[in-house]
C-alpha cells in the first residue's frame, strides 16, 4: 500500500468491481520524479476504475502498472502521452496485455 492510499477518499471514484480484463505496463521517462507525477497518475487511474501502482525507479523513470478494463487502460495510456501531465513526459514505452497479479487499489511507491 502506498502513501497515497492513506490520503485517498474513494468517494466518487469508480472501483474495479470485477477481475481485470487488461493490464497497462508502462515506463515513463522525462522529468517525472519529484514533480507530483505519480500522484497525477493515481488521480487519472482511480476514476477509470483502474488498480495497480506508480513507482519511481532508480534510473529516474516511473513504472506504471494499471489493471482494469481495456478502455480504462487505453484512456490512461492516452493521458500519459497527452502532454498534459505533472512534470514533463519525454517518452512512454507501454503495452496493454493480459493482467498479471492482482491489485486491490492504486498505490504510489
Q: Read off the C-alpha cell for 88.
A: 514533463
Q: Which residues, in sequence order, are CB contacts of 105 under 8 Å at separation 6+?
A: 1, 5, 8, 51
With both helix axes pointing from N to C terminus, report the angle between 37-45 and 70-80 in degrees, rounded to the nearest 10: 150
Q: How many residues does the chain have?
A: 109
Write down the catalytic residue from 31, 38, 81, 102.
38
38 part of the active site: yes
81 part of the active site: no
Largest CA distance in the chain: 35
- In DSSP terms, 107 is beta-bridged to 53
Q: Which residues are part of the catalytic machinery?
A: 38, 56
Amino acid at each position: 500500500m502506498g502513501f497515497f492510499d492513506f490520503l485517498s477518499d474513494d468517494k466518487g471514484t469508480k472501483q474495479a468491481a470485477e477481475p481485470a480484463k487488461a493490464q497497462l505496463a508502462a515506463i515513463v521517462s522525462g522529468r517525472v520524479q519529484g514533480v507530483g507525477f505519480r500522484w497525477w497518475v493515481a488521480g487519472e487511474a482511480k476514476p477509470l476504475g483502474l488498480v495497480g501502482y506508480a513507482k519511481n525507479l532508480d534510473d529516474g523513470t516511473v513504472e506504471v502498472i494499471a489493471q482494469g478494463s481495456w478502455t480504462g487502460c487505453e484512456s490512461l495510456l492516452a493521458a500519459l502521452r497527452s502532454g498534459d501531465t505533472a512534470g514533463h513526459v519525454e517518452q512512454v514505452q507501454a503495452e496493454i496485455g493480459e493482467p498479471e497479479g492482482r491489485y486491490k487499489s492504486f498505490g504510489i511507491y
